[in-house]
Amino acid sequence: MTNPMRRRFSRLAHLCVIGCVAAPLLSAWGAEPITLPSGKEVEGLGAGWPGRQAKAFLDVAPIPAELLQSLDMATAVRLANQRNPVVRQNFDDLLATQNSLGAAYATWWPVINVDLNGGLYGETAYYNYQGAVSGVGNPYGGTATAFNGSYFQSLSQFDITWNLFDPARTPAIWKNKYLVRQAVDSYVIARRDNRLRTQEAFIELQRAMARIETSRELVSNDKLLLGLAQARVALGVSSKLEIAKQTTVLKTDEVNLANSVIDSEVAQADLAELLSESRASILRPSSQLVPLGSWTSGLDQTIQAAMQYRKVIEQQLMNVEINQAQAQIDLSVYRPTVALVNSLYWTKGVGYTAVGPPWVADAQSDLWNGSSLLQLTFRGFDGGQARMTAEASMKRAKAAEAATLQAVNQVRRDVQAYYAQVVQGRQAVLLASQRANAASSALRLQSVRFSAGYGTITDVVQAQQDLTQAVADYIAQLADYNVSLVSLARSSGLTYEPDPQLEKQLGNPLSRLRLPSLTRPVVN
């Protein structure tokens, strides 16, 4: 067969093979898709296998109910740091990196390997049989001889290897040191973030509780004014339009009350999660929503403190060191590793342990073989693989340097943003307090005028809506101000100071929301 014919035959054979393999696949692809089982049908697979349940190792002692029903912010933070599994997770990660560092230091010690085995061996030997040397000489034609024997033999080997010089050892130790330092930073960050989240959740719970109380007061006012409007309609001095407008205001405030209850339950769930507590419904703050204080440090001082305080910058710096150490580890394969290798080999046999006569049933044998040598190991050529891997680690180190600069910029930006929110937020809280007081006074006066037969229902409704908006804005401004304070403290490491003067200026606008009893017109 000529070469062209062979090539054609080979191609034809390949096409036949491909067709035979692909035909079932194409038919399966074009067929109806396989019906997948439901979740209930497969969730029982492996259900009976032994395994740990989350409850077995995540259960913590419950917090006393009386403490949850009157919880202050400092206690909430303390409990969260003790009970939150995220903090525990970072602490266990820190312990793991310390163990890894210990393993890196342990490479200074020699490694001892022991291999022990022994057992019974059976042996059947034949020699001088017919054709024994066939193929290598003249066939043997004498008398065949055979025997059976069994014996016990043990093999023992002890190896002691000590790397006297290992170029990867020192950079590996330093890499693990940097990893420990990074794990320390992660643990500190976890505690600080957990503190901030707990403070924010506590403030949100205070916000929700304040909204519930004020919404109830506003609903009570709406019902009082609605009754007054109904009395005026009954006297014939007003139309049902007044009732419709008052009902609209009442339903609006009732919707706000329902949403406030929802927000409070969400805030309770958020705080309970941080406390690892299942009884979220009984969580109550021990104090009302009031300003936490004022920020007394300047912007420049706050930024400088943040640069020294924030661990995220140190973490990025550790990434630089870790990648540089990894580059040294990658290149160490080109440098020789000098090891002292000591080996002892011992084999012991009991019984017949050799081929051929004489047969000695109680024969014993021992063989000792010891060696001690220096071993030199290095990589001569790998196509530049290790060098390129090291170069990749150096590039990651350069990227970590850029990430460090970005972390510095982010820290500065956070401080500037929170500082502006604190400084301007203080003024906004004062203005919102004045607005709430003015709106409350306006509703009181307008309600008295309306009860006396002066003014219109539109004026009263407008005053009610103004008060609702003013109260909601005051609560939002005060809660946001407190969140900005704790966020700035978290970002800088500094703290806010109590400000009795601010509390005096604010007063308590939420305590003057309820309208006094109004005299309803008497129906003749």
Q: Give domain status of residue 331, yes or no.
A: no
Q: Give domain status of residue 57, yes or no.
A: no
Q: Which residues in 491-503 are b (16+ Cβ under 10 Å) and which e?
A: bbebebeebeebe
β-pairing, 337-351 with 145-165? antiparallel
CATH code where residue 507 lies: 1.20.1600.10
Last-in-domain residue among 350, 377, 404: 377
Q: Give domain status of residue 29, yes or no.
A: no
Q: Mean pLDDT across the chain, nearest whole number?
A: 84
Name the pTM for this structure: 0.80
Domain check: are 265 and 148 in the same one?
A: no
Domain check: are 126 and 207 in the same one?
A: no
Phi and psi based region of residue 453 (left: phi greater than 0; alpha: psi -120 to 50; beta: remaining): left
Domain check: are 218 and 347 in the same one?
A: no
Domain check: are 155 and 181 in the same one?
A: no
Domain check: are 348 and 440 in the same one?
A: no
Amino acid identity of residue 66, one-letter, is E
Instruction: State the pLDDT confidence band at 38, using cuts at 50, 70 and 90.
Output: confident
The tens digit of pLDDT for each residue in 374-423 reads 888 888 888 889 999 999 999 999 999 999 999 999 999 999 999 999 99
Amino acid identity of residue 61, one-letter, is A
The Cα–Cα gap between 239 and 243 comes to 8
DSSP letter string over 71-130? B-HHHHHHHHHHH-HHHHHHHHHHHHHHHHHHHHHGGGS-EEEEEEEEEEEEEEEEES-T
pLDDT at 286 over 70: yes
Amino acid identity of residue 261, one-letter, is V
**More confident site: 489 or 30:** 489
Domain check: are 365 and 508 in the same one?
A: no
- Structural domains counted in the chain: 2
Domain check: are 232 and 123 in the same one?
A: no
Q: Give domain status of residue 272, yes or no.
A: yes
Domain check: are 159 and 226 in the same one?
A: no
pLDDT at 109 over 60: yes
Do the Cβ atoms of 208 and 260 come closer than 8 Å?
Answer: yes
Domain with 144, as residue range(s), is: 111-165+337-377
Collapsed DSSP state (helix, strand, coil) of residue 25: helix
Q: Give domain status of residue 296, yes or no.
A: yes
> Which tokens sit at 335?
């440098």
Please tell me the predicted confidence (pLDDT) of residue 17.
47
DSSP letter string over 310-334? -HHHHHHHHHHHHHHHHHHHHHGGG
Report, as an integer, the average pLDDT of 83-106: 94
Domain check: are 440 and 366 in the same one?
A: no
Domain check: are 259 and 150 in the same one?
A: no
Instruction: State the pLDDT confidence band at 457, using cuts at 50, 70 and 90.
Output: confident
Domain check: are 450 and 507 in the same one?
A: yes
Q: Give domain status of residue 132, yes or no.
A: yes
Q: Give domain status of residue 10, yes or no.
A: no
Q: Which is nearest to 380 in space by CA: 348, 334, 413, 427?
A: 334
pLDDT at 135 over 60: no
Q: Give domain status of residue 465, yes or no.
A: yes
pLDDT at 323 over 60: yes
Domain check: are 449 and 498 in the same one?
A: yes
pLDDT at 21 over 50: no
Contacts of 367 (CB under 8 A, 6+ apart): 345, 346, 347, 348
